[in-house]
């Protein structure tokens, strides 16, 4: 059977990761996060592709393309989580399993971060665990895909 293929999306400003505000987001760079995800994917026997953009429309285009080539989506929508109906609609339209992740504990931060318009269309959301949020999110998606095959 073909290996499952998961699209990992990072939203705006996450390219700055590791360079600013390490007390909130940690000191790993985005490349290091992607590397850790690639290593975990290898162990899990799946394929991943990671993509970051600061632009809502570019992310929407990538999500629309995902329908043909991917089995599931792992996303840190960053600030778009809190207001992007465009991203939410695009993710929902794929019909693919979806896990939302955040590095920081959004509920322990400013009130505007307490609500995500994405969570309602996701299988689940993991936050506050830094890199582990992403790794656990990837593992959760693999479990969801395994369940689909039964």
* 88 near ligand CA2 (CB under 6 A): no
Q: Please check whether residue 9 is in contact with residue 81, taking contact to mean a CB–CB distance below 8 angstroms.
A: no
Rounded to whole angstroms, the Cα distance separating 90 from 19 reads 30
Which helix (H) or strand (E) is 132 found in, with range? helix 131-149
User: Which of 37, 73, 74, 103 contacts ligand CA2 by CB under 6 A?
Assistant: 103
Stretch of residues binding ligand CA2 (CB under 6 A), selected from 35-43, 54-62, 63-71, 73-81: 73-81
What is the residue whose two structure tokens read 């629309």?
Answer: 64
Q: Catalytic residue at 102?
A: yes
* 25 near ligand CA2 (CB under 6 A): yes
User: Which of 4, 7, 8, 17 contacts ligand CA2 by CB under 6 A?
Assistant: 17
Rounded to whole angstroms, the Cα distance separating 40 from 139 reads 9
Q: Which is nearer to ligand CA2, 76 or 94 (CB)?
A: 76
């Amino acid at each position: 059977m073909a290996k499952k293929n998961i699209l990992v999306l990072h939203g705006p400003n996450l390219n700055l990761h590791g360079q600013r505000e390490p007390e909130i987001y940690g000191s790993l760079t985005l490349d290091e996060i992607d590397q850790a995800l690639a290593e975990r994917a290898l162990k899990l026997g799946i394929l991943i592709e990671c993509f970051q953009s600061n632009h809502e429309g570019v992310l929407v285009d990538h999500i629309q393309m995902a329908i043909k080539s991917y089995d599931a989506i792992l996303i840190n929508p960053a600030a778009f989580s809190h207001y992007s109906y465009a991203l939410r609609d695009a993710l929902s339209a794929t019909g693919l399993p979806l896990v939302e992740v955040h590095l920081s504990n959004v509920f322990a931060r400013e009130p505007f971060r307490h609500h995500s318009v994405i969570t309602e269309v996701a299988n689940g959301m993991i936050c506050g665990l830094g890199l582990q949020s992403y790794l656990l999110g990837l593992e959760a998606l693999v479990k969801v895909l395994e369940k689909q095959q039964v």
